[in-house]
Structure 1
Amino acid sequence: MNVSLYIAKRYLRSKSSNNAINIITIIALIGVILGAAALFIVLSGFAGLKDFTLQFSTVIDPDLKAASAIGKSYFLTEEEAARLNQIEAVDVYSKIVEERVFIMSDNKSYPSAYIKGVDHNFTRVNVVDSILEQGTWFQDKTNQIVVGSGISFNLSFGVLDYNKAISMYVPKPGKGQIASAEKAFNTVHAVNVGVFSINEKLNDTYVFAPLSLAQRLLNYEPNQISAIEFKLREGADIAVVRDQIQGVLGSKVVIKDRAQLNDALYKMLNTENLAVYLIFTLVLIIALFNVIGSIIMMILDKKTSLNTFFNLGVTVKDIRKIFFFQGSMMSIIGGLVGILFGLLLSLNQLYGPMALRVFITPTLPYPVRIKIINVFIVFFTITVLGVLASRIASARITKQLVRDF
């Protein structure tokens, strides 16, 4: 067995004759344990919060979306539609028309809405029943619409409110002076049959309507669309299916998956996750200063023994290794105990009694997700910082120190 490692284990297990050094060592070990536990709990909590946030943002996002690469629309030919139907990994797809509209109802206006015209397959691509707060989904090839709860609130209309006319306007394409408002805008009149609720942004933005209504409002041809949304079969390889769809539709479309459709949100969450990790790593660094102090105090306490080792022929390098191993083992053991403690608290938040959980609201426990990668991240961080701290502390041992006693 390595002599330095053997002595380091003995020093780690044994108590010092100086009670102050024992207390400092215990405080250093507790600091590492709590730092590791805190880092693991925060990473698990943030992972749960990320999943909780994304489940509301992606509830109406498809597996893949083929949007126009140039301009706002493109034409889908019958041949292309037939070839898309032949892709086995595609379960179903829905044709989409999307554009900004101006909505009016009883002299109230709403200029920042987007109409999303969808065909009859949309309810198979997305589970619309889960987002409906009131009413029902519209019938195809009608003037029925389903609006977000924010739009419904701002324009003060509800479901099947026939006393309030709902009109949607889109500027007509063309050049020259505008002679009248009627000639400047395409207009359709609609009746609201449902109100959906997803999140604040979507609730304040979207109006779902039949594809035919949206195409009529925008003067689109029957085969002119803004995008196609795909639902893939379970277990399908997204990269392979993306290439197959691209091969059918060519360069006129850009194909994005669910993560790319929410790239801004993903970037924000990932940035926040990194910031939280760095902040708590700084806390760990501060905690590991106690380890450095503990090792230095141990070096001073063991000066007599170190002098004996030196006289017996042990090199200064090997003496340094004793305290390097001791500090590293203290950090690694403290990190493992801290991870275990954090894991138990996270499991309690997921499966423990309600009285012992932390709640965001009276009925909603704080979301937590335990990821194996976070265990390795915390352990790697503790190990690297502990090794560096031990290296710094053990470097205090010099030939002059062990010889001149």
Structure 2
Amino acid sequence: MNFSLYIAKRYLISKSSNNAINFITIIAAIGVILGSAALFIVLSGFSGLKDFTLEFTSIIDPDLKAEATSGKSFTLSQKEIMQLENSKSIAQFSKVIEERVFVTFDGKSYPNAFIKGVDGNYDQVNKIDSVIFYGSWLAQKSNQIVSGLGISSSLSFGIVDYGKQVNLYVPKPGKGQITSLKQAYNSFDAVNVGIFDVSEELNNKYIFAPIDMAQALLGYENLQISAIEFKLKPNTSEDDVRNELKEILGNKVVVKNKAQLNDALYKMLNTENLVVYLIFTLVLIIALFNVIGSITMMILDKKKNLKTLFNLGAQVKDIRRVFFFQGSLMSIVGGVIGLILGVILVILQKAFSLVMLTNNLAYPVTLKSINVLVVLITISILGIIASKIASGRISKSLIEAAS
């Protein structure tokens, strides 16, 4: 066994004759354990919040979405539709039209809505049925719509009120003087048959409608659409499907996955994750100052032993390695113990909901191997640096000065 490592192990597990040094060593070890446990728990908690947030937005996000490369729309051909239907990688696809609309109901107005015209396959591509908490999904070839909770609340309408219909307006394209409201807008009177609840942003944004209603409202041709949303078959390669769609649809579309559709949200969550990691890494660095202090006190306490080792032929670098290994072992072992405690607490939170956000919602946590790896690497690197700094205090003059 390595001479320096053997002595480092002995120093790590043996008590010093000085109780103050034992106390400092215990505090340093506890600091490392709690620091690594806290870092892992926070990362797991943030992973849970991230998954919880994306779970709702991904409900109405398809596996892939083909949007117009330029402009707001593009036109499909019957040949392209047949090729998409015959694809072995695509389970279902839905043609979609999206555009901003002005909504009014019973004297109230809502200017920030978007109509999303969808065909009969939409509920097979997305799990829209699971987020309709009041009413039902719309029927094609009708004047039915399904609105977000925010829009329905702002305009104070419910479902299936034939006496008071929801009015949708879209500005007409063109030039010239406008002399009446009919000249300025295309309009449609609709009946709301369902209300969905996904997230505040989407609840305040979307009104779903049959695709032929959206086409009539916007003046689109039969196969003129804004996007195509795809559900892929299991175990299908996303890259292969992208290449296939490129061959079928050409350069008139750009294909995006769920992460790209929610680019701003993913960036925000990843940035917050990085900031949280850096803050708790700083806490861990402060805890490792105790390791430096503990090693330094141990060096001063063992000066006579160090001189004996030096006289027996040990080199200064060998003696430095003793305390480098001691600090590294303290950091890594403490980090592993902290990780084990963190994993246990995360498992208990998932199983028994120890911490609640609301009366019915437990704080979400996710146990991920990447978080274990991040904590291990972080504590190992910082522990090695701290041990290197502490052991660097040993010099030949310090050893020879021992009496």
Partner of 1:249: 249
Answer with 210-219 or 185-194: which moved more. Answer: 185-194
> How many aligned positions are there?
402
* Cα deviations by residue, 1:82-133 (Å, 9 ceiling, x for unpaired): 1111210100100000000001111111100000000000011012221111
* Cα deviations by residue, 1:121-153 (Å, 9 ceiling, x for unpaired): 001101222111111111101111111111111
SS, match of residue 37 in structure 1: helix
CA distance in 2, matches of 1:332, 1:153: 55
Partner of 1:49: 49
1:96 aligns with 2:96: yes
* Cα deviations by residue, 1:2-51 (Å, 9 ceiling, x for unpaired): 11111111111110000000000000000000000000000111101100
Answer with 123-132 or 380-389: which moved more. Answer: 123-132
Partner of 2:170: 170
* Aligned positions of 1:219-238 closer than 5 A: 219-238=219-238
For 2:242, the aligned partner's letter is R
Query: How much does 1:214 deviate?
Result: 0.1
Query: How much does 1:181 deviate?
Result: 1.6
Partner of 1:148: 148
Correspondence for 2:368 among 371, 387, 391: 371
Partner of 1:333: 333
CA distance in 2, matches of 1:379, 1:16: 29
SS, match of residue 97 in structure 1: strand
Identity %, equivalent residues = 61
CA distance in 1, matches of 2:57, 2:208: 16
CA distance in 1, matches of 2:11, 2:152: 71
Runs of 5+ consecutive residues of structure 2 not aligned to the other structure? none
SS, match of residue 58 in structure 1: helix
For 2:144, the aligned partner's letter is Q
Correspondence for 1:395 among 388, 392, 396: 392
Partner of 1:351: 351
* Aligned positions of 1:104-115 closer than 5 A: 104-115=104-115
CA distance in 1, matches of 2:3, 2:195: 74
Query: How much does 1:242 deviate?
Result: 1.0
CA distance in 2, matches of 1:12, 1:185: 80
For 1:368, the aligned partner's letter is V
CA distance in 2, matches of 1:277, 1:46: 10
Query: How much does 1:177 deviate?
Result: 2.2
Query: How much does 1:332 deviate?
Result: 0.5
* Cα deviations by residue, 1:242-273 (Å, 9 ceiling, x for unpaired): 11011100100010001100010000000000
Runs of 4+ in 1 over 3 A off after TM superposition: none
For 2:394, the aligned partner's letter is I
SS, match of residue 189 in structure 1: strand
* Cα deviations by residue, 1:28-82 (Å, 9 ceiling, x for unpaired): 0000000000000001111011000111111100000001011000000000111
* Cα deviations by residue, 1:380-405 (Å, 9 ceiling, x for unpaired): 00000000000000000011000122
CA distance in 2, matches of 1:127, 1:3: 64
CA distance in 2, matches of 1:370, 1:31: 23
CA distance in 2, matches of 1:376, 1:110: 49
CA distance in 2, matches of 1:197, 1:39: 34
* Aligned positions of 1:70-219 closer than 5 A: 70-219=70-219
For 2:162, the aligned partner's letter is Y
SS, match of residue 275 in structure 2: helix
1:360 aligns with 2:360: no
For 1:210, the aligned partner's letter is P
Partner of 2:378: 381
Query: How much does 1:157 deviate?
Result: 1.0
Answer with 121-130 or 274-283: which moved more. Answer: 121-130
Partner of 1:38: 38
CA distance in 2, matches of 1:363, 1:202: 23
For 1:178, the aligned partner's letter is I
CA distance in 1, matches of 2:229, 2:35: 45
CA distance in 2, matches of 1:80, 1:325: 66
* Aligned positions of 1:255-266 closer than 5 A: 255-266=255-266
CA distance in 2, matches of 1:287, 1:404: 31
Query: How much does 1:165 deviate?
Result: 2.5
* Cα deviations by residue, 1:143-173 (Å, 9 ceiling, x for unpaired): 1111111111111111011221211110111
Query: How much does 1:180 deviate?
Result: 1.9
For 2:55, the aligned partner's letter is Q
* Cα deviations by residue, 1:305-357 (Å, 9 ceiling, x for unpaired): 011111111111101000000000000000000000000000000113x5xx1
CA distance in 2, matches of 1:250, 1:391: 58
CA distance in 2, matches of 1:85, 1:363: 43
SS, match of residue 359 in structure 1: coil
CA distance in 2, matches of 1:32, 1:401: 28
Under a length normalisation based on structure 1, what TM-score does the superposition of the two structures give?
Answer: 0.98
Under a length normalisation based on structure 2, what TM-score does the superposition of the two structures give?
Answer: 0.99
